[in-house]
Amino acid sequence: MIPSSPFLCVITDETICPVTLAENALKGGAAMIQLRHKTASGSQLYAWAVEIRKLCHQYQALCIINDRVDIALAIKADGVHLGQQDMGVRSARKLAGNKCLIGVSASSPQEALQAEKEGADYIGFGHIYPTLSKLKGYSPLGTDILQKTAALISLPIIAIGGVNAENAELLISSGASGIAVISAVSRSDNPSGASYELVCAINKKSHEKSL
């Protein structure tokens, strides 16, 4: 189940060991780790996934596998995250059933709404701000479109793209349920500290809402 309070998702970076990154992020308070590596072999992804799942469950966090429904099922991950060019939500649901979360990347309100109609559990929405972590063929969406999308759908939205400790609070106030980062943690000299700083930023907004 997606956390009910604002949370941090850390996506692994292909430039460093994903298991090491995951452990450091979890120590800093990340509630979700997404294993993403486009060039690794299936056997290597499986080995990493097994270790990351162990760590996530140790820290009571969610383990999400990018793209690979087969690996997510093989290691009993908490979920799988699909891009617009990956297997469709309905097909993934036939394989995974209801015990596996299915997240979908969306870059427009229309894509988010379609994913909801098809049965996704959450939306990864972005990129919100300029980012160098992934090459994109379109301009940053900004918080106005994030707000529009949050008002349009009922699913949790994880905002991604150029997210850092300075803008994380604004994303939560704009309707995001959580934030996802790559370089803000992976390229920090202190990944655990960077994760903690991000968690503090979103928890500050969460605390303000409850006052």
Known active-site residue 183? no
- Which token pair is 150? 């949050």
- Three-state DSSP at 168 gives helix
Is 8:31 a contact under the CB 8 Å cutoff? Answer: yes
Alpha-carbon distance values, 9 to 25, 53, 107 (Å): 9, 14, 18
CATH classification at residue 141:
3.20.20.70
Q: Write the CB contacts of 59 (distance below 8 Å, at least 6 apart in sequence).
A: 26, 27
pLDDT single digits (tens) 58-85: 999 999 999 999 999 999 999 999 999 9
Query: CA-to-CA distance for 99 and 26, rounded, in angstroms?
Result: 23
Q: How far apart are CA 62 and CA 147, in angstroms?
A: 25
Q: What pLDDT does residue 152 have?
A: 97
Sign of CA dihedral 131, 190, 200, 29: positive
Average confidence score pLDDT of the chain? 94
Query: Tokens 């972590």 identify what position?
Result: 133
Marked catalytic residue, from 76, 90, 94, 134: 134
The verdict on whether omega for the bond into residue 207 sits within 30 degrees of 0, i.e. cis, is no
Residue 48's alpha-carbon distances to 19, 20, 51, in angstroms, are 6, 10, 5
pLDDT (tens digit per residue) in 13-59: 999 999 999 999 999 999 999 999 999 999 999 999 999 999 999 99
Q: Convert the pLDDT of each residue in 99-128 to its tens digit.
A: 899 999 999 999 999 999 999 999 999 999
When pLDDT is cut at 50, 70 and 90, the band that residue 131 belongs to is confident
Read off the pTM: 0.94
* Mean of pLDDT values over 176-189: 97
pLDDT score at 210 = 41
* Torsions phi, psi for 164 (to 5 deg): -150, 180
Phi, psi of 131 (to 5 degrees): -145, 145
Q: How far apart are the C-alpha atoms of 158 and 118, rounded to whole Å? A: 18
Residue 204 is a catalytic residue:
no
For the chain, how many structural domains are there in total? 1
Catalytic member of 36, 53, 68, 93: 36
Q: Is 90 known to be catalytic? A: no
Q: Is residue 135 part of a domain?
A: yes
User: Taking Cα atoms as reference points, which of 170, 111, 101, 113 lies closest to residue 142?
Assistant: 170
Q: Using CA of residue 26, residue 188, residue 123, residue 81, what is the dihedral sign?
A: negative
Report the share of the chain in percent with pLDDT over 90.
90
Is position 2 within any domain? no
Among candidate residues 105, 107, 133, 174, the one labeled active-site is 105
- The answer to whether residue 165 is domain-embedded is yes
209 or 55, greater pLDDT: 55
> Which residues span the domain enclosing 160?
7-210
Q: Is residue 180 part of a domain?
A: yes
Q: What's residue 134's pLDDT? A: 63
Residue 132 is predicted with a pLDDT of 73
177 belongs to a structural domain: yes
